[in-house]
Amino acid sequence: MAIKEGLRPGGRSARVQESIHSAVRELLETHQRSTLTVPQIAARAGVTPSTIYRRWGDLSVLLADVALARMQPDGEPANTGSLRGDVRAWAEQYLDEMSSEPGRNMLRDVQCSQTPGYCVAIIGAQLQAILERYPDQPGPSVDRLINLLAAPTVFRILFSAAALEVEELHRLVDIALGQ
């Protein structure tokens, strides 16, 4: 499942998009997010500001697009040999990533996207891949895993004074797996 937002098939357009995404990622390493400007990104990417405005409308949509692309996992979820182990490993990594500073920023940026639903589609695909490894085991639905693991992880990061504790997350994994 690829993120299609803003992507056009073919060479030139995809290369322009990639250079703009790269410019944003590089600038975010050395600049406060709130200080980024479209002309600055355009200069770094070697395009005109109007190229960015034409494609993304404004900066928040571009940042959301970069955030969504970053949410794509680097590879398959860890395979520990058991459903419970795989779900636990996935949930721990998701908690780690989302509660980091870049993770929090991603979560905020993605909400400005025109397609925030991609966020759930991406983690749904990962959880589906885990469930398919254990076809003979009565497993939970993907929606149940999203509601009981991803939702509390993100909600607590965005709206609570303290993120989930790992022990709390493990209890949620047990509840999600009906144990």
Binds its own copies (CB under 8 A): choice among 21, 70, 88, 156: 156
DSSP secondary structure code for residue 2 in this structure: -
- Judged by CB under 8 A, the stretch of 15-23, 35-43, 93-101, 160-168 that binds its own copies is 160-168
Binds its own copies (CB under 8 A): choice among 158, 166, 167, 173: 158
Site membership for its own copies, residue 145 (CB under 8 A): no
State how far the Cα of 150 lies from the Cα of 94, in Å rounded to an integer: 8
Minimum distance of its own copies from residue 63's CB (angstroms): 15
- Judged by CB under 8 A, the stretch of 13-21, 77-85, 94-102, 150-158 that binds its own copies is 150-158
Site membership for its own copies, residue 127 (CB under 8 A): no
Taking CB atoms within 8 Å and a gap of at least 24, the contacts of 162-168 are 163/95, 163/99, 164/95, 166/92, 166/95
Which tokens go with 35? 């200080």
- Hey, what's the torsion of the CAs at 27, 29, 34, 37, to 10 degrees? 0
Handedness of CA 84, 88, 94, 97 (dihedral sign): negative
Binds its own copies (CB under 8 A): choice among 45, 110, 145, 177: 110
Interface residues with its own copies (CB under 8 A)? 108, 110-111, 116-117, 119-121, 143, 146-148, 150-152, 154-156, 158-162, 164, 168, 172, 175
